[in-house]
């Protein structure tokens, strides 16, 4: 009898041991992840010419604090390490090296800026450390074949341009279009996106004018474009020049359909300096809810966002779109880590980031969803058109997808 008991005990012990080994075998960790924490790195422009974006990092820090207060992700707390790079590429290189080699972070999340992140893209990919959900609109981040460790977040400039082109096709199927654009990567990205759609249609691009950021005034470009007789003006310029263009078009009495990049939709920095009356009717597109807009006061996602702000960022300026942006990006990062479960390898996190299906962060406009795949590293490829009316932006129409058939 005793032998039988011993045999059963031995069998039970062996079973427990195997179960425990199996449980341990299922848990996989790379540098920066453990049973208790996930170390996330970030670089942000807390100082320098782009310091207005610093609030994104602060919002993400607050969001991760909320997640930690709720018990973390699958029981693990987020250890957030964010450094200032002053929007300077050499400083970015220094800070990213520090994060990866000294702090030994698991991944870098939502680092800001096209020039700054371009400076470290090859390094990230050589080290096989995720450069995940970047805060920049360049289309180059959607290149899983050559850069499998890099992924953007917001709609790219090319995606937005394709959406504008589809709207122009619908509203002005035989339109004559002129394009005014910045002579840099930002402007050229838009140009490619517009042509991808318009060159296959009856819409004619009758003129293109580029400008340099060193030009004191762009008035002569606008006069030249008006003289083409075009009925659609596409304005791909940064805030200072966008305001000049709006003002000059009004002065000339020219009334084309005016479509403007969302880079320049700031009411304070663009529409007011151009003149609210002159800005009336200008079109753009968006994907984020405006927390200061009363139309969202009963929206469930916005209620969650406001509860978060009240507790973790009291007194924050909710009219700053960078807050709803940082919240949406952080929520997407948390979803990706949740999907990774106990397999916290860098490879699996990239796999999960490329397997997001119809994920809907609280602060995205209803109907806009995050979708990725192994061949599509562009999480957001939908926008909703909006028109400037009576001093504010009004959303209208259906969600437009950048996909050719969407």
**In a structure prediction context, what are the per-residue pLDDT tens digits for the chain, which is 406 residues long?**
556 555 655 555 655 555 444 444 589 999 999 999 999 999 999 998 888 889 999 999 999 999 999 999 999 999 999 999 999 999 999 999 999 999 999 999 999 998 999 999 999 999 999 999 999 999 999 999 999 999 999 999 999 999 999 999 999 999 999 999 999 888 999 999 999 999 989 999 999 999 998 898 999 999 999 999 999 999 999 889 999 999 999 999 999 999 999 888 888 888 999 999 999 999 999 999 988 888 899 999 999 999 999 999 999 999 888 999 999 999 999 999 999 999 999 999 999 999 999 999 999 999 999 999 999 999 999 999 999 999 889 999 999 998 744 3
- What range does the domain containing 238 cover? 158-286+386-401
Does 257 reside within a domain? Answer: yes
Does 131 reside within a domain? Answer: yes
For the CA atoms of 256, 262, 266, 267, the dihedral, rounded to the nearest 10 degrees, stands at 40
Give pTM, 2 decimals: 0.85
Does residue 392 share a domain with residue 276? Answer: yes
Classify 33 as helix, strand or coil.
strand
Does residue 260 share a domain with residue 183? Answer: yes
Does residue 241 share a domain with residue 168? Answer: yes
Does 195 reside within a domain? Answer: yes
**What CATH number is given to the structural domain containing 170?**
3.40.50.2300
**Alpha-helical regions (H) of 299-345:** 300-312, 321-340
Residue 217's nearest CA partner among 241, 186, 199, 246 is 241
Q: State phi, psi for 118 to the nearest 5 degrees.
A: -60, -35
Classify 163 as helix, strand or coil.
helix
Helix (DSSP H) and strand (DSSP E) numbers for the chain: 13, 14
Does residue 149 share a domain with residue 44? Answer: yes
Does 3 reside within a domain? Answer: no
Does 16 reside within a domain? Answer: no
What is the layout of strands, in order, in the sheet containing 37-44?
77-84, 37-44, 107-109, 131-134, 150-152
Contacts of 282 (CB under 8 A, 6+ apart): 246, 258, 259, 260, 271, 387, 388
Tally of domains within the chain:
2
Residue 225's nearest CA partner among 252, 243, 199, 189 is 252
Does residue 257 share a domain with residue 134? Answer: no
DSSP-assigned letter for residue 17: H
Does residue 278 share a domain with residue 175? Answer: yes
Does residue 271 share a domain with residue 193? Answer: yes
Does 291 reside within a domain? Answer: no
Does residue 392 share a domain with residue 264? Answer: yes
Does residue 268 share a domain with residue 162? Answer: yes
Does residue 171 share a domain with residue 243? Answer: yes
Does 93 reside within a domain? Answer: yes
Does residue 162 share a domain with residue 149? Answer: no
Does residue 396 share a domain with residue 365? Answer: no
Residue 243 tokens, joined: 């305001």
Does 85 reside within a domain? Answer: yes
């Amino acid at each position: 009898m005793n032998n039988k008991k011993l045999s059963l005990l031995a069998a039970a012990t062996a079973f427990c041991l195997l179960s425990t080994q199996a449980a341990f075998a299922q848990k996989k960790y790379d540098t920066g992840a453990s049973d208790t924490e996930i170390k996330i790195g970030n670089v942000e422009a807390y100082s320098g010419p782009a310091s207005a974006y610093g609030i994104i990092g602060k919002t993400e820090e607050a969001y991760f604090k909320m997640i930690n207060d709720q018990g973390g992700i699958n029981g693990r707390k987020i250890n957030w390490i964010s450094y200032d790079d002053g929007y300077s590429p050499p400083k970015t290189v220094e800070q990213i090296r520090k994060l990866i080699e000294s702090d030994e972070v698991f991944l870098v999340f939502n680092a800001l800026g096209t020039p700054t992140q371009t400076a470290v893209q090859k390094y990230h990919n050589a080290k096989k450390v995720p450069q995940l959900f970047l805060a920049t609109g360049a289309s180059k981040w959607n290149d899983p074949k050559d850069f499998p460790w890099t992924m953007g977040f917001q709609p790219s400039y090319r995606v937005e341009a394709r959406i504008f082109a589809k709207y122009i096709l619908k509203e002005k199927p035989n339109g004559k279009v002129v394009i005014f654009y910045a002579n840099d990567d930002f402007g050229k990205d838009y140009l490619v996106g517009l042509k991808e759609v318009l060159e296959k249609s009856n819409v004619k691009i009758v003129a293109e004018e580029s400008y340099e950021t060193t030009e004191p005034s762009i008035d002569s470009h606008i006069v030249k474009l008006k003289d083409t007789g075009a009925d659609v003006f596409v304005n791909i310029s940064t805030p200072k020049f966008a305001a000049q263009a709006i003002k000059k078009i009004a002065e000339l009495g020219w009334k084309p359909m005016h479509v403007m990049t969302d880079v320049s939709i700031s009411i304070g920095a663009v529409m007011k300096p151009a003149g609210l009356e002159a800005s009336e009717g200008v079109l753009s597109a968006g994907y984020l809810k405006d927390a200061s807009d009363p139309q969202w006061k009963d929206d469930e996602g916005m209620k969650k966002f406001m509860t978060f702000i009240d507790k973790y960022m009291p007194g924050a300026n909710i009219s700053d779109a960078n807050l709803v942006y940082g919240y949406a990006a952080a929520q997407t990062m948390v979803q990706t880590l949740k999907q990774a479960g106990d397999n916290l390898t860098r490879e699996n996190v990239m796999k999960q980031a490329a397997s997001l299906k119809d994920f809907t962060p609280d602060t995205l406009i209803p109907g806009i969803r995050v979708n990725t795949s192994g061949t599509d590293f562009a999480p957001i490829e939908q926008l909703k058109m909006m028109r400037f009316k009576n001093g504010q932006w009004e959303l209208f129409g259906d969600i437009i997808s950048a996909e050719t058939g969407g």
